[in-house]
Each structure stands twice: as structure tokens, then as C-alpha cells.
């Protein structure tokens, strides 16, 4: 007798919690569009009110369509949540019937909310026999209302003028007073000389200093390429953060191996950590040849790094919070661009202290800069290790211990907090910029969880240094070229392996999850370190010829500025759309090319007017008399390291 209800349950449960993994187009299009926007210019022209709102769909009666929507949305890994629709509504057009013209709409939001809800409900009812409940009103834009220019904008305008003025004065001073390249005149004014800064930007990788520094020129190429990969991964992310008219494109992308590179490509970002720590270890060893290193170098190194990274970063944050808001408009502008300005006004301090990856979760302000914060935190540890571990033996022990700890940390996090092995790029997650994704927040962006790749870079730096001193000649081990040629395919294979976790309805055993979470970053970056060392010791010349290309020299130097600029362009593009964007492979390639071109193109003036002058200014202020320490470090920095990473 008792088994009857159980059988009923067994029959019922899979049915009621069914998940639809795939739908053909005709079925898919039965669902209401996820995003839709009324005509914005027409609405503004007739003096209307335009609201951007999210509504939750539901039914009182059983509805076949609602079941379809629920079951399709239940696949949270690959599908958007189609029970919530996102709409831009012109009240005067779509909600005319419900509008009480004799009342001022802006007076009471209760009235406005009720009007919106009633009219959206009606439109969903008419077309789909679904009801709609207002979930969230992002904002309402009134025709003729413009964002006012406030005090912060005015202050920023003055800052722009000051920079331009100083650059003009500095340049004229240089041209009139100094013959080319001479050491002459006031170093503070000369910092602003465009002529000198242009020469710095375009100079060859090394200018006749230590021959060993010449071998570091691969870093410009590696940095530029990594940067382009980062642009690539952000191209589609920012798009998904905005309104798109074919969310199927994203929802089906998971089955395409080429696009899996995009989803798991975030692995490449950690190359920045490796480059940074490699140069730190290498440069400090070189410095040690002529100096005794004491613990004083620790706070000093951190101060120098802060001074090197922060001015142009602060400049960009301030620009994003002020004038960037004003340069466009449209129904999506406040959502895509305005939201960043508001968030940066709130959290700028966390960015300038490089703790933004720990202190807040709604990562709307410059989300990609988590890596700067993590890198700075790791730099504190790395510098301490480099300063304290003097002998090769001490370095081996310290790095061994550090590496062990760095493997235990992500392992413990994954087990204790029950995290995913990789950041699962679920559509709803990146629609919210990962604000609620524990794996991203707790594992991916934190400093201490990225220690493993940083330690590998340190080890690579020490190894390269000691091998160079010992005169190791790798070129004679010709067999090593074969694994070296495998670097690229192996890297791609590791990136693609993340796709293993995107199987439909799959439950990965915890052991594999934990192992993967612990190992995938160090394994990938081990390959990168192998690549760096192979290039430094001229193992072969095909890959090396590419990364050491002369054209990468200036791009590497400008890459920090380009990094700070790229999301501004991407957000600007999507934020100024008047209709939901149509996604396609072609669109992504176009946007990526535009991002690369615009970012590096705009990075040049940013470098010339802001980054380089302030870097020279701090150098002049910190070292009134030229001292070997600074010169040596500056040379090393120019050879490879333009992010200021590892620059003491």
C-alpha cells in the first residue's frame, strides 16, 4: 500500500522539476523576448517618460508556455532566466491607456510603478497570456532632463587643463632650453616634455645597458598579447551585461569549442601575475649584485609601486566618475555607463588602496581592475620573500613553502565553501557582473587565492637569473625545442579543458572539482614560465621572433593605459545603443578590433600626458641625485616592465 504514493512521487518529481536543455528556434521564439526597448528618440521627441524595468512573469492558471519558460530557465548554467523580462517602456506610447495625464508622473513613484505594472501586465497578457509583476524599476528618463554638470565635473575639467598646460610648458621648455637628449634644466619641468616622453614610448626595448636586460624584451610582446586576450574576453561579457536581441547566441555558445576558449580564457589573465613576479625576482637579484638589500626596501618598494600605478589609475577613475557620464545618452546609458560612475564615486577609495577585490561585492566600478589589486597584494608577499631570502638555498625553501601554501588555499576554499572548479560563465551571472557568484568573489579575484601563479613567476625569475650567471646555454639542448613548440597547443588544450564542466545536467565528483580548482592555474602558468625562460635563453626563434617583435615595444609600454581604457570604450559602445544589440561572430570580431585599436590609440595620449610625466616626476622627486638603485631599476623597468610591477 505504501508504495503507491512513492511511485506517484517518482513519476511526478522528474516531471515537475524537468529541465529543458535545448529548444529549437520555433519553440524558443514562443517565449516572450528577454529584452525589448521602445523607440527612445520618438519617445523623447514627444516629451515622454521612458522607464527601464524588469518584470517577473507568472500565471494563476496552468499554462503550457509558462511551464516551458520555467523549465528552460531551470538550466541556470547556460540559459538566462526567462521568467524575468527586461523592458524599456515609453509611457506615453505603450501605457497611454493607463496614463493619468492630469497628474505629474514624477510626483509619486507609487503611481508610476502602478502604471508601469498595469501596462506591462496587459501587454504580456495580450500577447502571451502571462501576467507580469514589477520586480525592479532601474530608472525613468524624462524628456528634456539632462544630467547636470556638478562640482566634481568642474574640478576634473580644471585637472585636465592643468595637465595640458604643464605639458605645453614642459615641451616648450625642453625645446627651447635643451638640445636633444641632453641632461639639462629643471627635471620637474622636463618630466612634462612631450618630446622626451614620446622618445620614451617609442625607444627600443633596451638602450645599451646591461646586455641581460635585452633578453627581457619578450615581456612587451607577452604583455600586449595577454592584454588582447583580456579585451577579447571582456568584449562578449560587456555585451551580455547590456541588452541583446538574440540571447540564444549566448545560450548556444557553450556547445561551440571555439567559444569555450572565450569562457575559460580568463586563465590567461594570470599571466600578468607571472610576468610581474618574474620581473620582481629577477630585478631584485640584479640589484643585489651591487647593493646590500635590507628590509627597508620592503616599504620603499611598496611605496614606489603605489606611486607608479596610482596616478593614472586615479585619473581614469575620476574621468569615469565625471565626464564619461556626459558623453553619451540613450535608454541604456545610465544602466551601462552611469552605473559605473555611481559605483566609482562610492568605492574609489578601495581602488586606490588596492583592496577592491576584498571589500565589496557589487563590482560595478571598473570590474576588471581586480587584477591590479590582487597583483599589488601579491607584490607585498613577493617582495618580502625576495628581500629576506638571500641565498639560492633560502630562496628554494621559501618558494617551496609558499607554493605548498598556495596549493592548499584554493583547495581549502573549494572544499569548505563548496565552490565551482572554475568560474562558471552562466549568463545570469555575468548579467550581474558576478555580484552573486561565490567562486568569482571568493576564489577568482582574491589575492591570497592567486598565490600559486605568483610563486611560479618568482621561481622563474630566480631560475633565469641564476642560470644566466652560471652561463647555462639552453640552445644546445636541441631536443627541448619539441616541448617548446607544444607550448601553444598545450595552453589552448588546458583552456579548453574547462569546457568539461559545462556538460548538461552533470554533477562533477567533488574530488575532480577540488583537484581541478587547485591545479589548473599553476599548470597553465608553468607552461608560461617555461615559455618565458625558453625565450630568454633563445631556445628557438619562431615564437621568440613573434613576442620580441619591435612593434610590441610601444604597445607593451602603453598597455597599462590601454587596459584602463578598454572597458570605457566597450561600455560606451553598448551604452549608446538605442535598440538591443544583435550578437554575432562578426559583431564580436568587429567590436574586438575596435577595442584593440581604440584602446591602444587612446593609450598613447594618456601615456604621454599623464602616465609618463608623473612617473618622471616621482623619479625626480625620489632621487634628487641620480643613484644607481633607481637607475638600475628604471632600466629594468623600461626593458620589460611598464606596469611598474616589480619596480622598486
Ligand X SMILES: *[C@@H]1O[C@H](CO)[C@@H](O)[C@H](O)[C@H]1NC(C)=O
Judged by the rule CB under 6 A, the positions of this chain that interact with ligand X are: 24, 26-27, 56, 73-74, 76, 81, 83-84, 100, 102-103, 109-110, 113, 118, 121-122, 125, 131, 135-137
Do residues 425 and 440 make contact, with C-beta atoms less than 8 angstroms apart? no
In this structure, are residues 599 and 620 in contact, taking their beta carbons and an 8 Å threshold? no
Least Å distance between CB 112 and ligand X? 7
Residue with Cβ nearer ligand X (83 or 632): 83
174 Ramachandran zone, left/alpha/beta (phi>0; psi -120 to 50): alpha
CB 214 within 8 Å of CB 639: yes
Which helix (H) or strand (E) segment holds residue 84: the answer is: strand 84-90
Task: Pick between residue 73 and residue 368 the one whose CB is nearest to ligand X.
Answer: 73
Distance CA 480, CA 130 (A): 65
Tell me the residue length of the chain.
Answer: 648
Return the number of the residue (65 or 546) whose C-beta is nearest ligand X: 65
Under a CB-based contact definition with an 8 Å cutoff, are residues 86 and 54 in contact?
Answer: yes
- Cβ at position 638, least distance to ligand X in Å: 51
Q: Closest Cα partner for 558 from 598, 616, 618, 588?
A: 598
Residues 6+ apart with CB under 8 A from 104: none
Least Cβ distance, residue 423 to ligand X (angstroms)? 18
Q: In angstroms, rounded to a whole number, what is the distance separating the alpha carbons of residues 109 and 48? A: 16
State which residue, 125 or 349, has the beta carbon closest to ligand X: 125
Q: Biggest alpha carbon distance in the chain?
A: 103
| Dihedral sign computed on CA atoms, order 585, 587, 590, 593 | negative
Closer by beta carbon to ligand X, 43 or else 119:
119
Nearer Cβ to ligand X, position 83 or 450? 83
Query: Closest CB to ligand X among 114 and 510?
Result: 114
Angle formed by the axes of helices 297-321 and 552-575, nearest 10° = 40
Minimum separation from the CB atom of position 58 to ligand X (A): 9
Q: How far is the CB of 103 from ligand X (least distance, A)?
A: 4
For the CB of residue 441, give the shortest distance to ligand X in the complex, in Å: 18
Least distance from ligand X to the Cβ atom of residue 247, Å: 14
Name the residue nearer to ligand X (CB basis): 113 or 209: 113
Q: Quote the least distance from Cβ 68 to ligand X, whole Å.
A: 10
d(CA 91, CA 275) in angstroms, rounded, equals 53
Q: How far is the CB of 249 from ligand X (least distance, A)?
A: 19
By C-beta, is 118 or 620 nearer to ligand X? 118
Q: From CA 648, how far away is CA 342, in angstroms rounded?
A: 34
For residue 332, the minimal CB distance to ligand X (Å) is: 17
Q: Which is nearer to ligand X, 118 or 415 (CB)?
A: 118
CA distance 287 to 510: 46
Per-residue burial over 621-630, b = 16 or more CB atoms within 10 Å of its CB, e = otherwise = eeeeeeeebb
Round to whole Å and give the CA distance between 390 and 292.
Answer: 10
Amino acid at each position: 500500500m505504501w508504495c503507491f504514493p512513492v511511485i506517484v512521487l517518482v513519476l511526478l518529481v522528474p516531471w515537475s522539476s524537468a529541465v529543458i536543455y535545448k529548444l529549437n528556434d520555433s519553440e524558443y521564439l514562443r517565449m516572450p523576448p528577454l529584452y525589448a526597448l521602445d523607440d527612445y528618440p520618438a519617445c523623447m521627441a514627444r516629451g515622454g517618460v521612458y522607464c527601464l524595468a524588469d518584470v517577473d512573469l507568472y500565471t494563476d492558471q496552468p499554462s503550457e508556455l509558462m511551464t516551458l519558460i520555467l523549465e528552460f530557465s531551470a538550466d541556470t548554467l547556460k540559459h538566462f532566466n526567462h521568467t524575468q523580462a527586461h523592458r524599456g517602456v515609453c509611457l506615453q506610447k505603450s501605457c497611454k491607456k493607463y496614463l493619468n495625464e492630469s497628474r505629474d508622473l514624477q510626483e509619486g513613484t507609487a503611481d508610476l510603478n502602478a502604471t508601469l505594472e498595469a501596462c506591462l501586465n496587459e501587454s504580456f497578457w495580450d500577447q502571451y497570456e502571462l501576467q507580469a509583476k514589477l520586480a525592479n524599476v532601474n530608472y525613468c528618463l524624462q524628456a528634456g532632463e539632462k544630467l547636470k554638470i556638478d562640482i566634481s565635473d568642474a574640478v576634473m575639467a580644471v585637472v585636465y587643463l592643468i595637465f595640458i598646460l604643464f605639458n605645453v610648458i614642459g615641451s616648450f621648455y625642453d625645446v627651447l632650453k635643451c638640445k636633444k637628449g641632453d641632461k639639462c634644466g629643471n627635471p620637474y619641468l622636463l618630466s612634462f616634455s612631450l618630446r622626451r616622453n614620446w622618445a620614451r614610448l617609442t625607444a627600443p626595448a633596451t638602450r645599451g645597458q646591461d646586455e641581460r636586460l635585452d633578453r627581457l624584451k619578450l615581456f612587451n610582446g607577452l604583455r600586449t598579447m595577454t592584454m588582447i586576450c583580456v579585451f577579447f574576453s571582456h568584449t562578449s561579457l560587456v555585451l551580455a551585461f547590456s541588452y541583446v536581441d538574440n540571447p540564444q547566441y549566448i545560450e548556444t555558445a557553450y556547445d561551440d569549442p571555439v567559444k569555450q576558449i572565450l569562457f575559460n580564457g580568463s586563465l590567461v589573465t594570470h599571466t600578468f601575475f607571472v610576468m610581474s613576479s618574474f620581473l620582481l625576482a629577477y630585478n631584485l637579484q640584479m640589484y643585489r649584485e651591487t647593493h646590500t638589500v635590507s628590509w627597508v626596501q620592503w616599504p620603499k618598494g611598496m611605496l614606489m609601486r603605489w606611486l607608479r600605478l596610482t596616478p593614472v589609475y586615479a585619473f581614469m577613475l575620476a574621468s569615469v566618475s565625471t565626464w564619461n557620464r556626459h558623453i553619451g545618452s540613450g535608454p541604456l546609458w545610465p544602466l551601462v555607463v552611469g552605473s559605473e560612475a555611481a559605483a566609482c564615486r562610492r568605492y574609489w577609495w578601495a581602488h586606490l588602496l588596492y583592496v577592491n577585490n576584498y571589500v565589496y561585492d557589487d563590482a560595478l566600478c571598473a570590474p576588471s581592475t581586480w587584477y591590479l589589486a590582487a597583483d599589488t597584494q601579491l607584490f607585498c608577499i613577493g617582495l618580502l620573500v625576495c628581500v629576506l631570502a638571500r641565498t639560492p638555498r633560502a630562496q628554494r625553501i621559501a618558494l617551496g613553502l609558499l607554493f605548498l601554501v598556495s596549493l592548499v588555499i584554493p583547495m581549502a576554499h573549494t572544499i569548505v565553501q563548496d565552490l565551482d572548479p572554475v568560474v562558471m560563465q552562466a549568463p545570469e551571472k555575468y548579467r550581474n557582473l558576478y555580484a552573486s557568484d561565490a567562486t568569482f568573489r571568493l576564489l577568482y579575484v582574491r589575492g591570497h587565492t592567486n598565490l600559486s601563479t605568483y610563486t611560479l613567476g618568482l621561481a622563474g625569475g630566480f631560475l633565469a637569473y641564476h642560470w644566466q650567471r652560471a652561463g647555462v646555454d639552453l640552445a644546445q639542448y636541441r631536443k627541448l625545442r619539441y616541448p617548446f613548440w607544444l607550448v601553444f597547443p598545450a595552453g589552448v588544450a588546458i583552456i579548453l579543458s574547462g569546457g568539461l564542466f559545462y556538460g548538461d545536467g552533470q554533477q562533477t565528483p567533488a574530488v575532480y572539482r577540488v583537484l581541478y580548482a587547485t591545479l589548473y592555474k599553476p599548470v597553465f602558468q608553468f607552461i608560461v614560465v617555461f615559455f618565458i625562460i625558453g625565450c630568454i635563453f633563445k631556445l628557438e626563434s619562431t615564437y621568440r621572433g613573434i613576442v620580441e617583435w619591435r612593434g610590441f615595444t610601444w604597445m607593451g609600454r602603453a598597455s597599462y593605459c590601454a587596459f584602463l581604457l578598454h572597458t570605457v570604450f566597450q561600455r560606451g559602445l553598448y551604452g549608446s545603443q538605442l535598440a538591443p544589440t544583435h550578437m554575432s561572430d562578426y559583431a564580436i570580431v568587429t567590436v574586438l578590433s575596435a577595442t584593440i585599436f581604440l584602446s591602444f590609440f587612446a593609450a598613447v595620449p594618456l601615456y604621454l600626458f599623464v602616465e609618463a610625466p608623473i612617473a618622471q616626476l616621482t623619479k625626480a622627486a625620489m632621487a634628487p641625485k641620480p643613484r644607481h638603485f633607481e637607475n638600475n631599476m628604471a632600466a629594468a623597468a623600461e626593458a620589460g616592465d611598464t606596469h611598474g610591477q616589480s619596480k622598486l
